[in-house]
Amino acid sequence: MHAEDDGVMTVARLMALSARTAPKGKGKDSLVCVIAGPGDLAALAGEMERLSKSLGLSIFTRDAGNVSASQACLIIGVRGQEPVGINCQGCGFPSCDEMVEATGKVNGTAAPFRGPNCVIKITDLGIAVGSAVKTASIHNVDNRVMYTAGAAALSLGWLPACTIAYGIPLSASGKSIYFDRQK
């Protein structure tokens, strides 16, 4: 293992720490963090390729190439169907109880994510992702936020009970592999 590879895994762990300690709505933590290391990246990229075909979205194939070339990938998911109980109606339902009752009834498709979701939990996920990429940036590790990698991790069952996830592949090389991506 190269020194850079070991450093990337250390930063992935620090990113998970940043995500875990990021502020949460009403202080209720519904995040799940998983680090895909070198032995996991092929499976993640393979699932992204499969989803590309089944969903008809070429972006999954493009991103799979980046994941394959990465040294690690932090996956951050949220159990978005665990509402905070404030009945804010941000999910589109009159109450948290009605949103929970609707879970599993709204999405009958092969969509990458399941809904409905508590808007507070989705905001928590966004804040956690932002905190994690800030940590990668502080440590000079190239990264890219990818909903495609998160969707593949969900499909693989890596984040039980999570409804939405993002993947953040990580790389340390002479030039960012995430910069000159093909469309």
How many CA within 13 A on the CB side of residue 67? 34
- Across residues 5-25, what is the average pLDDT? 96
The sign one gets for the Cα dihedral 151, 136, 118, 85 is positive
Instruction: Return the structure tokens found at 157.
Output: 């069952």
pTM, 2 dp: 0.93
DSSP 167: E
Rounded Cα gap, residues 155 and 57, in angstroms:
15
Q: Which domain range does residue 49 map to?
A: 3-170
More confident residue, 173 or 182: 173
Kindly state whether residue 109 falls inside one of the protein's structural domains: yes
Rounded Cα gap, residues 143 and 158, in angstroms:
20
* Residue 36, SS3 per DSSP: strand
Kindly state whether residue 181 falls inside one of the protein's structural domains: no
DSSP 52: H
- Give the pLDDT confidence score for residue 2 in this predicted structure: 81
Kindly state whether residue 92 falls inside one of the protein's structural domains: yes
* pLDDT tens, residue by residue, 162-171: 999 999 999 9
Query: How many domains are there within the chain?
Result: 1
CATH number reported for the structural domain that contains residue 37 in this entry = 3.40.109.10
- Give the pLDDT confidence score for residue 147 in this predicted structure: 97
Q: Report whether pLDDT(34) > 90.
A: yes
Kindly state whether residue 25 falls inside one of the protein's structural domains: yes
Kindly state whether residue 55 falls inside one of the protein's structural domains: yes
Instruction: Return the structure tokens found at 173.
Output: 């090389």
* pLDDT tens, residue by residue, 50-84: 999 999 999 999 999 999 999 999 999 999 999 89
* pLDDT tens, residue by residue, 98-144: 998 887 665 455 577 888 999 999 999 999 999 999 999 999 999 99
Rounded Cα gap, residues 27 and 36, in angstroms:
27
pLDDT band for 4, please (50, 70, 90 cuts).
confident
